[in-house]
Chains A and B, each alone.
Chain A
Amino acid sequence: MIFENTKCECGHQNPVGTVLCESCGKPLENTESSEPLEMRYDGAARRSQKANPSLLDKVWNFFSSVKIAVYLIFFTLLASSLGTIFPQESTFLNMDPSTFYKAEYGTLGEIYYKLGLSHTYESWWFILLLFMIGTSLVICSLDRVLPLYKALSKQQIRKHLSFINRQRAGLIQTMPFSEEDGEAQEWVNKLGKQLRKQRFRVHTEGAALLAEKNRFSRWGPYILHIGLIIFLLAVVMRSIPGWHMDKHMGFLEGVPVKIPDTSYYLKNEQFTVDYYKPEEMSEEFREKNRSVAKLYETQAVLYRCTDRCDDDDPVLEEVHRQKIEVNKPLDYKGLLAYQFDFQETPTILSMDPKVRNLKTGEAFGPIHLNMNNPAQSYDAGPYHLELKGYFKDFGMDDKGQPITQSNSPNAPAFIFQVTGPDLPAQGSVFMYFPRQIDQQNFRQDAINGELAKTLAISVDSMDDVQIAAYTSYLNIRMDRAMPFIWVGSAIGMIGLVMTFYWQHRRIWLRLDGRELSLGAHTNKNWYGLRREIATSLTKIGMPIEQKALDKGGTNG
């Protein structure tokens, strides 16, 4: 092993990996060269530059490399673009990916699916890439911010001559006075005063000067990285059970529907779809004869269940009432409901028919029939009806037995036991289909036989029928990680602004005899730095072009 002497001539002992002496700034590598210095992190040693790396150190070193970080970002970029070639599986609500891609996009689609690119953003390798970027963000930042902080918080005013002269911006000039002259001190003070006017913090030590501004801008990248880490953690937190819910549900007008895994019920009282009228369109657009939707609105009521929650008739208490529009979701204590879609689904909700004696022509009632949750018994004048059976969506199975085909009242059928005038004491069975079309299809009169001639149940007019015209589809969501997402974004944004809208600038100056050496450094925007120095020198009577301060080179 080669013994590395890291002691500087000024007497300071530097850690291994130091490029510029921590104290006086003398270059410890390439000492003969006159090229501009590598000024990154002010030449301080980073943890990743340890002499004998252990396994942990090696992992640290891997992730601390900006080169690796750039590769990671680049691969993520490529992978992301692959995912946009065909629509992702998540774009569709109901679809079988194993056949869809082949049917829709042919062989290419099949290859795309087989490679797993149809769910790029959920695949393990994509998540691994994001995870590695997160690790790199943490390690890169820690590896650099600590040495940089140390270096910037203990700066010497009088720097080594070769440190000053090997900056990318600066000048060497013979002055009409010497270091020891009072005139020299006066000149340095005058420059200091001018630089203060330009909002520099100025420190002097004899005829040496250090001016610095906007150091905080150097912390910008690290604040940005902290913001990104919080953001990534928030994304991970969404996989905690109960932190994230995402469901698409249909809400028929007038029927409260339970939101799964919660004690909430949501009712769509009325859905409205509205289109632009011709006079609301521009002349050119009117000619195209296209209809454009203006409004989709669900009048929603949110209930909380207080009792009998698992039964058919839960006890509901209204907690919130709101119009849901696109861009105006329902928001109640973190439960969100978004307008997603709608469908015209004319469905009978309930009706108020009368019981009629066909012999006398008398009508009794009305009785209230609820299609979703009918009552057990009804009284209409002298008649009494007991509900013996109810089918929401009437049909016959293979054996000819009546069944209900779905849980929606598409073809409701009631079987009543009726007692009253001219009827047997034990009552007669009467079957009632509220929809006229079902009465014909299932031949209600034939089923009821003789009874159909003496008894009828019917409404006076359609006013006595409550119909739901629309089903509104809402996207029900819950996302407890959102506050962290926004906090992470805000912190990241602050970091970005600090980084790019301010520049850290430093100017060093010393007189050796009559020779003035000025060097300046910034981590970006050299043009602005040179112009700032040129302005200050010109103002104190030493006119100079900004270009004359450019020593070339790309380091820094």
Chain B
Amino acid sequence: MSFIDKISSASSSYLLVAFLLYCLAFILFVVSITGKRMGGKSPEAVSRRFGSAGFIMTVVGFAAHLLFFFTRWYASGHIPTSNMYEFMTFLGMMIILAFIIVYLIYRLPVLGVFALPVGFIVLAYASVFPSEMQPLIPALQSYWLKIHVTTAAAGEAFFGVGFAAGLMHLARTIRYKGDNPSPVWERRAFEWTIVFILLIVAFIGSVFSFNAAGYKATFVKEVTVSDTAGQPQVLKQDETYVLPPIVQPSGSQMVEMKPFLGMTKPLFEAPSWMEGKNAGRQLNTVIWSVIFGALLYGILRLLARKPLGAVLNPAVQGLDPEDLDEVGYRAIAIGYPIFTLGALIFAMIWAHEAWGRFWGWDPKEVWAFITWLFYAVYLHLRLSRGWQGKKSSWLSVIGFIVVMFTLIGVNLLIAGLHSYAGV
């Protein structure tokens, strides 16, 4: 084993350490806000102590995360932001950094309860993508890879913290009991937000466990593409599933499939208009995520015997809603200029250098633009039209969904110039 190979294998263990430390920090923050009296100390003292412990744990985790980042950089010879796996681990790291910064300003332990999960869900999501180091293709051989990708991710990370604060604010202010409960749509919408997050958790969990179990199914289909001379060519395209195929790619033949719970062939075929690369696999993944997500939600709901929002609500009752609202706004206000610089201006400079045009309405560019416009709406409504509190929190939740779509959805659903970053 060469020195570089040793470094690269050590690198992944640092990431695991960071992930575990973040989970531990999360638990410490949870203890800190429950407001329990412990060992004869007042709830305030307990909260302070566990809050600081959680924060220190986060910082140590962040250090391990940095170690992962730089050792991987050293081993691969280029900054590890060149594919989806590397980008998501970097985004996770930036979310933790944004949390650390906002925490230092406001010192609210509850922020850890919401922001850390955003960070480690993103990290766990990274593990869904192939993690091997890849050689850098010519299009990415530029120092703008370092500058553009890192600043864009930093800006988006602050939006992630804004999202966490928005969720906290909603959990705190949506009323489930009493004479004056919040409107039904609002309670439902919040519940659906929780369902959505559980879907993502279920998605990561299922990919993770089937991957660990070594599950595999392969399909092949013939696709006609035109070569550079415009002549049609028939190619065989493989699609490999890590989740048991409920649905097979449109117009494909099964090559191999491990039986799963007595299921030996896919239940149905994807509709013919879903012809995109890996469309069948993605549809299959979505179906599994919905099944597992619904299962996860069902179990939690049965345990709680009430909407999960109503479970969260009393837990955060001790918090000041206006402070939460302000934290969310501040995170977005800090992130907006960074995002503009990284995701638009630096992106335009690089695009000008690599593709010969600063703007080309590539789907990724359009969605970065949409994200920027969305937060422009958020800021105008908040600063000029007095949209504060719940309205603003809802916008920050939707905003981060737009961000995640830009980062992930565009790569998976829409092909474009940025598609090399996907899987």
Contact = CB atoms under 8 A, between A and B. Distances in A.
Contacts, number: 151
A119 to B, nearest CB: 10
A501 B158 CA distance: 14
B345 to A, nearest CB: 5
A283 B352 CA distance: 35
B135 A285 contact: yes
Contact of B326 (A70, A76, A77, A526): A526
A295 B140 CA distance: 11
B333 to A, nearest CB: 5
A128 interface: no
Contacts of A296: 138
A7 interface: no
B322 interface: yes
A500 B337 contact: yes
B337 A70 contact: no
Contact of A73 (B333, B340, B373): B373
Contacts of B374: 77
A294 to B, nearest CB: 7
A523 B329 CA distance: 13
Contacts of B133: 282, 284-285
A292 interface: yes
A500 B352 CA distance: 28
B273 A106 contact: yes
Nearest to B4: A282
B384 A66 contact: yes
Contacts of B414: 84
Contacts of A543: none
A543 B272 CA distance: 71
A80 B139 contact: no
Given A90-B360, A90-B361, A343-B228, A554 B389 contact: yes
A12 to B, nearest CB: 27
B356 A283 contact: no
Interface stretch (A323-331, A384-392, A422-430, A533-541): A323-331
A332 interface: no
A326 B138 contact: yes
Given A329-B353, A485-B348, A527-B323, A292 B415 contact: no
Contacts of B354: 326-327, 338
Contact of B8 (A80, A282, A295, A489): A282
Contact of B142 (A282, A285, A327): A327
B399 to A, nearest CB: 11
Interface string A466-509: 00000000010101001001100100110011011100000000
Interface string A63-94: 00011011001101100110110011011001
27 contacts: A40-B384, A66-B385, A73-B377, A74-B377, A80-B366, A80-B369, A83-B361, A83-B366, A84-B414, A87-B415, A87-B416, A246-B357, A280-B135, A281-B135, A292-B134, A294-B135, A327-B142, A336-B356, A475-B356, A482-B352, A482-B358, A489-B348, A500-B333, A500-B336, A525-B326, A527-B323, A527-B326
Interface of A: 40, 66-67, 69-70, 73-74, 76-77, 80-81, 83-84, 87-88, 90-91, 94, 105-106, 108, 120-121, 246, 276, 280-285, 288, 292-296, 325-329, 336, 338-341, 343, 475, 477, 479, 482, 485-486, 489, 492-493, 496-497, 499-501, 523-527, 547, 550, 552, 554-556
Interface of B: 5, 8, 75-76, 106, 131-135, 137-139, 141-142, 144, 228, 230, 273, 320, 322-323, 326, 329-330, 333-334, 336-337, 340-341, 344-345, 348-349, 352-358, 360-361, 363, 366-367, 369-370, 373-374, 376-377, 380-381, 383-386, 388-389, 410, 414-416
